[in-house]
Amino acid sequence: MTTTRPGSALTPINVEVRLLKARAYQILRQAIISLDLRPGEPLTERSLSARLGVSKSPIRDALIQLEQERFVRSTPFKGFEVSPLTADYLRTNFQFREALELYAVEHFILHYEEGPATALKRNHEEVRDCLAEGDPERAYRVNRFHQILQDTIDNPIFLADRRVIEGHLRRIHNIAIMISGRMAKTYDEHQAILNAIDRRDPEVARREMRAHIQSNLEDTRASDQFKKLAVVVPARPTRTPNSHKARAAAP
């Protein structure tokens, strides 16, 4: 008999054998992104096999793939665990996001088309309506501002890298959405970017986009939600030039 955690995204898999690895990978990846599997949570093949109702082989294959994408990590003699959230994890993902978003908004303006521009404005208005109704969580769910910007880029290398980084950024976003007032702040920052797009001003659009990314990073890093989930990595002790001599002279 298999058991599942109440409300868990990890429900038994019922697909053909050849699809088991792919389905196990998809379910585990989504559970990590949604924070259903918490940062640092141990991932044993036996437990996951029971929860998903499959053998351990597709579970292990899925965990190896997820480790390659940095969603899980393995430690000798301890096995797999969900990749922890750290200040460094936050910083490096936002660095990549900033580079991606600055390129996307500039590309959007330089290759401006009425169709995507109209879609961007309509989505922005939908977010506005959700906020006006006092539903920031729905505003977050319907928000496709950055996706619409990026969808105009026709570059296979960009799209391949985007798929992996998007998962990590959505994991961080699922923390940010819990921050009171963050979605309303995001709406205002998106409006400033949209104003620059309307004026076809890539320089201002990049400046406003950078400010938006930095604002999001700072709010997430300072939030209680992040602090509750984050792992503090202790600083390495510094060694002075004479520290080895001091230890040698100690009784």
Match 């690895």 to its residue by tokens: 21
- Determine the residue type at 193: I
3-class state of residue 43 by DSSP? strand
Q: Which of 235, 231, 189 is nearest to 90 (CA)?
A: 231
CA of residue 2 relative to chain centroid, distance: 30
> In Å, how far are 24, 81, 177, 214, 227 from 223, measured between CA atoms?
32, 24, 11, 14, 6
Kindly report whether the global pTM for this prediction surpasses the value 0.75: yes
Residues of the chain with pLDDT under 50: 1-4, 6, 234-236, 238-240, 243-251
Q: Which residues pair with 72 in a beta bridge?
A: 82
Q: Which of 49, 41, 9, 32 is nearest to 164 (CA)?
A: 32
Q: Which of 117, 81, 84, 90 is nearest to 197 (CA)?
A: 117
Q: Strand 72-75's sheet: what is its strand order?
A: 42-43, 79-82, 72-75
Is the distance from CB of 172 to CB of 92 less than 8 angstroms?
Answer: no
CA angle at residue 113 from 212 to 127, to 5 degrees?
40
**What pLDDT score was predicted for residue 236?**
46
**What pLDDT score was predicted for residue 16?**
60
Neighbours of 167 (CB within 10 A): 17
Q: Is the dihedral of CA 40, 213, 200, 116 positive or negative?
A: positive
Neighbours of 193 (CB within 10 A): 25
> What domains can you pick out in the chain, each with its CATH number?
17-82 (1.10.10.10), 87-229 (1.20.120.530)
User: Mind listing the pLDDT tens digit for each residue in 116-164?
Assistant: 999 999 999 999 999 999 999 899 999 999 999 999 998 888 777 777 8
**What pLDDT score was predicted for residue 2?**
43
